[in-house]
């Protein structure tokens, strides 16, 4: 003989059924008036005195919340019916089913204003595309570059740069002095500053890395100052006429990535 | 009498701004055509509504019109504020409706266009959203199943319809920009099943 379910078990099942009903109305886009809101609320009310466990109370609240969503859908449904756009869906559907396709297409054309959109190649865009193609490195090289990027990044030393031929040991000081002289004569803005990339940027990527490296020494040794505007993402170099002793001023390191992509972007900006 | 230099300067400035507006409106710069009001303001200046009015007058002679789609789609403002215009999207569309023979010019087969009309008509009649399956069933009454899939994907891709994760269809941005929904439903309801309600004398044949 089947035993009668306890009111708590029955109530939980009812609440879950209510939630599912409401969710399916929303998910399937059904007429929300198919839901008997009053009946569902009375079911919730009937079982409410049985709840004491927090999970059961949460289920009860969820059921109420879903009923509220259905009421909201009902309100939207009425609003839509009240608009001048509303036409009986059954009539429209009937027309769509019964009219020959040529007629439907003809009717649609009378209410259809296709957009005008053009696609055209211009001399300017061709030129830009060709420039891009010329500068685009072959795929195998790009992939090789990605592999290189995957290697661990570690600070480089002057010795390593000498070994790689970027710097020559005996000319380091001379080069530094030459660059300082150049920095002092460089065209500055009203505030006596120069854009970092405008100063270190060179015709080649290697040249740019070299200038960035030397500039870092100019700043460290007090021949110039670095001004960073983090919000504007701008970095400036300010030359000193004479070497400035840092004294007891706390110094800090500020890493600036000199990537190939960044250099390429700078070069394109400069050309445009 | 010769025009005053001030007027000539203003005319030249407006002419330049109209050219800029044409480039922005006609040429696709993003995935979708059209341009937002704030973008026009940035490129043309704060008097862009006036420039668009002038351009509209000019396009009118060519059978084209600047179409404005407001964010408040349900109740488009009669006298839009600058803020509403900034948020609106502007397109160039054909002003005149097409005759049945002309749809080939915009690259549509008659049954594809009818499928689109049925899909949109059905979604509109259901209050703007409906399950995909219902539209599929309706289309399958007159089109083979494989064609229904291809067509629905085309309507989705081109922006006439959008679909959510529950498989519900909604009207897409392109429908809002191109279709006079009220007129379409009214014409549909007025149509008689025996008489062809298209423009008299038009011949339509599936390509």
Query: Which of B54, B77, B94 corresponds to the end of one domain?
Result: B94
- What is residue B204's predicted lDDT score, i.e. its pLDDT? 39
Average pLDDT, chain B: 83
B104 & B185 share domain: yes
B104 & B183 share domain: yes
B55 & B123 share domain: no
Contacts of A93 in chain B (CB under 8 A): 122, 125, 138
Note whether ipTM > 0.85 here. no
Question: How many separate helices (H) and strands (E) can be counted in chain B?
Answer: 9, 6
**Which residue in A has a C-alpha nearest to residue B182's C-alpha?**
A85
Q: pLDDT tens digit string along B81-109?
A: 888 899 999 999 888 776 655 555 567 88
Share of chain B above pLDDT 70, in %: 84
B198:A85 CB<8 A? no
Contacts of B178 in chain A (CB under 8 A): 112-115
Closest in A85, A104, A106 to B118, CB measured: A104
B72 & B127 share domain: no
B85 & B143 share domain: no
Residue count (chain A): 272
A29:B126 CB<8 A? yes
B124 & B74 share domain: no
Separation between Cα atoms, residue A92 and residue B118, nearest integer Å? 10
Residue B93 and residue A114 in contact, taking contact as beta carbons nearer than 8 Å = yes
Distance from CA of B200 to the nearest CA of A (A): 10
- What is residue B195's predicted lDDT score, i.e. its pLDDT? 46
B189:A89 CB<8 A? no
* DSSP labels, A161-177: HHHHTSS-GGGHHHHHH
Residue A271 and residue A264 in contact, taking contact as beta carbons nearer than 8 Å = no
B27 & B71 share domain: yes
Q: Looking at the domain assignment, is residue B142 inside a domain?
A: yes
Q: pLDDT tens digit string along B38-92?
A: 999 999 999 999 999 999 999 999 889 999 988 776 677 888 888 889 999 999 9
Domain with CATH 1.10.10.580 in chain A: 156-271
Residue B163 pLDDT exceeds 90: yes
Q: Looking at the domain assignment, is residue B200 inside a domain?
A: no
Separation between Cα atoms, residue A102 and residue B8, nearest integer Å? 52
B88 & B110 share domain: no
Residue A215 and residue A179 in contact, taking contact as beta carbons nearer than 8 Å = yes
Contacts of B187 in chain A (CB under 8 A): 107, 110-111
Query: Which of B94, B116, B149 corresponds to the end of one domain?
Result: B94
Q: Looking at the domain assignment, is residue B198 inside a domain?
A: no
Share of chain B above pLDDT 90, in %: 38
B50 & B127 share domain: no
- What is residue A63's predicted lDDT score, i.e. its pLDDT? 92
Q: Looking at the domain assignment, is residue B24 inside a domain?
A: yes
CATH architecture of the region A156-271: Orthogonal Bundle (1.10)
Separation between Cα atoms, residue A218 and residue A234, nearest integer Å? 19
B175 & B107 share domain: yes
Can you give the residue range of the structural domain that contains B90? 11-94
Q: Which residues of A74-98 are buried (b: 16+ CB within 10 A; e: fewer)?
A: beeeeeeeeeeebbebeebbebbee
Counting Cα atoms < 13 Å in the Cβ hemisphere of B149 gives 2
B58 & B104 share domain: no
- What is residue A151's predicted lDDT score, i.e. its pLDDT? 60
Total CB pairs under 8 A between chain A and B: 174
B97:A29 CB<8 A? no
B187:A107 CB<8 A? yes
Q: How many domains does chain B have?
A: 2
Residue B191 pLDDT exceeds 50: yes
* DSSP labels, A175-203: HHHHHHHHHHHSPP-TTS-EEHHHHH--S
Give the residue from A2, A8, A89, A94 showing the smallest Cα distance to A49: A8
Q: pLDDT tens digit string along B106-149?
A: 678 888 889 999 999 999 888 888 999 999 999 998 888 888 99
Q: Tokens 């030459």 appear where?
A: A178
pLDDT in tens, chain A (272 residues): 445 567 778 888 889 999 998 888 887 777 788 888 898 899 989 888 888 888 889 989 999 999 999 999 888 888 777 665 667 778 888 888 888 888 888 888 888 888 888 777 777 777 777 788 878 777 777 776 555 555 666 777 767 776 666 666 566 778 888 888 888 888 777 778 888 988 898 888 888 988 998 899 888 888 888 888 877 778 889 888 888 876 666 667 778 888 888 888 888 887 76
Counting Cα atoms < 13 Å in the Cβ hemisphere of A114 gives 16
B110 & B90 share domain: no
Residues B44, B47, B51, CA angle at the centre, nearest 5°? 75
Using a CB–CB cutoff of 8 Å, tell me whether A114 touches chain B. yes
Closest in B111, B116, B166 to A108, CB measured: B116
Separation between Cα atoms, residue B30 and residue A147, nearest integer Å? 33
Q: The domain that contains B183 carries what CATH number? A: 1.10.10.10
């Amino acid at each position: 003989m089947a035993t009668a379910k306890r009111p708590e078990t029955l109530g939980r099942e009812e609440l879950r059924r209510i939630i599912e009903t409401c969710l399916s109305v929303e998910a399937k886009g059904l007429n929300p008036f198919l839901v008997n809101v009053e009946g569902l609320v009375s079911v919730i009310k009937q079982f409410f005195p049985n709840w004491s466990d927090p999970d059961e109370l949460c289920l009860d609240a969820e059921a109420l919340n879903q009923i509220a969503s259905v009421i909201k859908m009902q309100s939207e449904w009425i609003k839509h019916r009240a608009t001048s756009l509303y036409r009986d869906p059954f009539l429209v559907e009937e027309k769509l089913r019964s009219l020959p396709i040529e007629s439907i297409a003809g009717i649609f054309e009378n209410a259809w204003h296709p957009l005008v959109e053009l696609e055209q190649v211009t001399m300017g865009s061709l030129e830009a595309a060709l420039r891009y193609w010329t500068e685009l490195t072959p795929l195998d090289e790009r992939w090789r570059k990605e592999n290189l990027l995957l290697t661990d990044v570690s600070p480089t030393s002057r010795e390593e740069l000498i070994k790689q031929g970027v710097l020559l040991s005996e000319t380091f000081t001379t080069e530094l002095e030459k660059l300082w002289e150049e920095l002092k004569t460089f065209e500055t803005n009203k505030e006596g500053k120069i854009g970092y990339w405008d100063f270190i940027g060179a015709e080649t990527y290697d040249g740019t890395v070299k200038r960035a490296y030397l500039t870092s020494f100019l700043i460290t040794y007090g021949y110039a100052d670095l001004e960073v505007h983090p919000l504007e993402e701008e970095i400036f170099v300010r030359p000193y006429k004479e070497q400035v002793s840092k004294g007891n001023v706390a110094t800090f390191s500020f890493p600036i990535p000199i990537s190939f992509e960044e250099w390429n972007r700078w070069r394109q900006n400069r050309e445009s | 009498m010769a025009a005053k230099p001030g007027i000539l300067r203003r005319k030249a400035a407006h002419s330049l701004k109209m050219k800029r507006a044409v480039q922005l409106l006609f040429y696709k710069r993003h995935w979708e055509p059209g341009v937002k009001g704030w973008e026009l303001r940035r490129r043309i200046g704060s008097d862009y509504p006036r420039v668009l009015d002038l351009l509209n007058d000019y396009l009118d002679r060519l059978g084209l019109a600047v179409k404005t789609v407001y964010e408040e789609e349900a109740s488009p403002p009669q006298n839009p504020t600058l803020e509403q215009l900034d948020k609106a999207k502007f397109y160039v569309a054909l002003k005149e409706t097409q005759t049945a023979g002309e749809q080939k010019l915009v690259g549509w087969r008659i049954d594809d266009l009818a499928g689109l009309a049925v899909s949109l008509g059905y979604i509109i009649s259901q209050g703007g959203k409906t399950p995909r399956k219902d539209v599929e069933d309706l289309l399958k009454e007159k089109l083979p199943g494989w064609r229904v899939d291809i067509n629905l994907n085309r309507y989705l891709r081109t922006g006439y319809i959008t679909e959510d994760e529950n498989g519900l269809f909604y009207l897409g941005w392109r429908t809002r920009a191109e279709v006079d929904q009220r007129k379409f439903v009214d014409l549909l309801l007025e149509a008689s099943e025996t008489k062809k309600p298209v423009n008299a004398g038009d011949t339509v044949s599936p390509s």
